[in-house]
Amino acid sequence: DVQMTQSPSTLSASVGDRVTITCRASESISRWLAWYQQKPGKAPNLLIYKASNLESGVPSRFSGSGSETEFTLTISSLQPDDFATYYCQQYNTYPTFGQGTKLEIK
């Protein structure tokens, strides 16, 4: 299985901050990576697919980049609604997910 490692596990930030979450794959996955946001008690919500493609309806402050084994999700200016847990997922092989990054209010 392709192991996905996210960092940090927890991130404290303030409204208006620019934040970056990193996801590393244990082997090359080309650009077959998705990012999701999940809030407590809710289903995950797709943000980014194929590493950098913004899903329809997702605010443009979210962006993704990277290829092969290293990827990032960036939120350019944090909004109150963005405090949640974020997961990366590779789909170069059968899907595997990162362990999640909890974005907290500082």
Partner 1 sequence: ELQLLVSGGTLVQPGGSLRLSCAASGFPFSNSAMTWVRRAPGKALEWVSTISGSGDNTYYTDSVKGRFTISRDNSKNTLYLQLNSLRAEDAAIYYCGKGGSGSYWYFDYWGQGTLVTVSS
- Asked if 73 and 48 count as a contact pair (C-beta separation under 8 A), the reply is yes
In this structure, which amino acid lies at residue 12? Answer: S
Choices 23-31, 62-70, 72-80, 88-96 (CB under 8 A): range interacting with partner 1? 88-96
CB of 23 to partner 1, least distance (A): 12
Residues 83, 103 contacting (CB under 8 angstroms): yes
Q: Are 71 and 28 in contact (CB under 8 A)?
A: no
Shortest distance (Å) from residue 99 CB to partner 1: 5
Between CA 42 and CA 25 the distance in angstroms is: 26
Closer of 13 and 46 to partner 1 (Cβ): 46
Binding of partner 1 at residue 17 (CB under 8 A)? no
Which residues from 26-65 bind partner 1, rule CB under 8 A?
32, 34, 42-46, 49, 55
From its phi and psi, is residue 90 left (phi > 0), alpha (psi between -120 and 50) or beta? beta
Q: How far is the CB of 80 from partner 1 (least distance, A)?
A: 22
- Provide the binding-site residues for partner 1, judged by CB under 8 A: 32, 34, 42-46, 49, 55, 87, 89, 91, 94-100
